[in-house]
Amino acid sequence: MPPLDRRAPAGLPEWDRCAVMGVVNVTPDSFSDGGRWFHTAAAVRRGLDLVERGADLVDVGGESTRPGASRIGEDEELRRVIPVVRRLAAENVIVSVDTMRASVAAAAVEGGAAMVNDVSGGLADPGMIPAVAAAEVPFVVMHWRGHLHGDNIEGRYDDVVTEVVDELQGRVDAALVGGIAPDRIIVDPGIGFSKDADHDRALLAHTNRLHALRRPILIAASRKRFLGRILAAPDSAPPPPRERDAATVAVSALAASAGAWAVRVHNVRATADAVRVARALERA
């Protein structure tokens, strides 16, 4: 039996290792792959391709959360996301919907999504927690301090790890009070959301502290800004997001060995190997 917080959330399969969540951004403007899968058919093909390459589940989102992005309307988000969710679910893909809107979450679950991933942890839409409670699916509660504008892009902390754990505990409690089952709540430190590169490094170095929340942990560090900072040669610009995949694989291996339930990545092939190496070493 895996430790309590490595066990899959209720309703999802039990993998005997860290799970791999592939990303399908149905957006014209996401920071790492914006525009590539914007049309329904391309997004569906991308989702199926990710499964072929080793994704255990696929996260479908229609709204970019990159710093300074303006929000899209509800109708547009539904138009982008729901047909992709429906078609992937019809192919037996385990689909997670990445949304801050209760209406989109509910429509996605209706269309076959097995999980709701809300980067605001239920803060952006007061209808989200009741909607997920009614849908009876797992819910990712990410650490979030508001939309990424101005001073909020990098955030201010005295002790980032302690504050993130405490604030996540507050969101877990809100989800429980709102009727989401305890075994359906997943926590995520929100790498790059109101955090600078030092904050992100501290959170990943202390992933073990998130186990205090006693929930499955999702780590979504793929191609993010702090990796660009780590990889940049002195006095030169960071490599673009698509050149951060090898660094992402290193984070996947470390997250898996720190007991993460899942990692969310754009390029799944190498991460699928990394989580298997982590499992093999765990058992040695």
Which residues are marked as active site? 224, 264
- Shortest Å, Cβ 166 to ligand PMM: 19
Closer of 218 and 254 to ligand PMM (Cβ): 218
Characterise 187 by phi-psi region: left (phi > 0), alpha (psi -120 to 50), beta (else). beta
Residues 31-50 that bind ligand PMM (CB under 6 A): 31-32
Beta strands in the chain (DSSP E): 19-25, 57-61, 95-98, 115-118, 139-142, 185-188, 218-219, 262-265
State the nearest-atom distance from the C-beta of 52 to ligand PMM, in Å: 20
164 binds ligand PMM (CB under 6 A): no
Cβ 170 to ligand PMM shortest distance, Å: 17
> Distance (Å, rounded) from C-alpha 118 to C-alpha 278?
27
Residue 25 lies near ligand PMM (rule: CB under 6 A) = yes
30 forms part of the interface with ligand PMM (CB under 6 A): yes
- By the rule CB under 6 A, 278 interacts with ligand PMM: no
Task: Identify which of residues 82 and 140 has a Cβ nearer to ligand PMM in the complex.
Answer: 140
Instruction: Please pick, from the candidates 123, 210, 220, 253, the single residue that binds ligand PMM as defined by CB under 6 A.
Output: 220
CB 70 within 8 A of CB 45: no
| Contact pick of 24, 119, 175, 213 for ligand PMM (by CB under 6 A) | 119
3-state secondary structure 133-178: HHHCCCEEEECCCCCCCHHHCCCCCCCHHHHHHHHHHHHHHHHHHC
Identify which range of 37-45, 148-156, 187-195, 202-210 contacts ligand PMM by CB under 6 A. 187-195
Residue with tokens 């049309």: 39
Q: Which is nearer to ligand PMM, 35 or 126 (CB)?
A: 35
**Binding flag, residue 23, ligand PMM (CB under 6 A):** yes
Closer residue to ligand PMM in complex, CB, 77/188: 188
Q: Is 276 within 8 Å of 18 (Cβ atoms)? A: no
Contact 21, 265 (CB under 8 A): yes
Q: How many CB atoms lie within 10 A of CB 119?
A: 23
- For ligand PMM, the binding residues in 72-101 under the rule CB under 6 A are 98
Q: Cα(37)–Cα(24) distance, rounded to whole angstroms?
A: 7
Residue 121 vs 259, nearer CB to ligand PMM? 121
Q: Residue 191, interface with ligand PMM (CB under 6 A)?
A: yes
Which candidate, 144, 123, 137, places its Cα nearest to that of 89? 137
Among 5, 62, 85, 117, interactor with ligand PMM by CB under 6 A: 117
Q: Positive or negative, the Cα torsion across 189, 192, 197, 199?
A: negative
Interface residues toward ligand PMM, by CB under 6 A: 23, 25, 30-32, 65, 98, 117, 119, 140, 142, 188, 190-191, 218, 220, 264
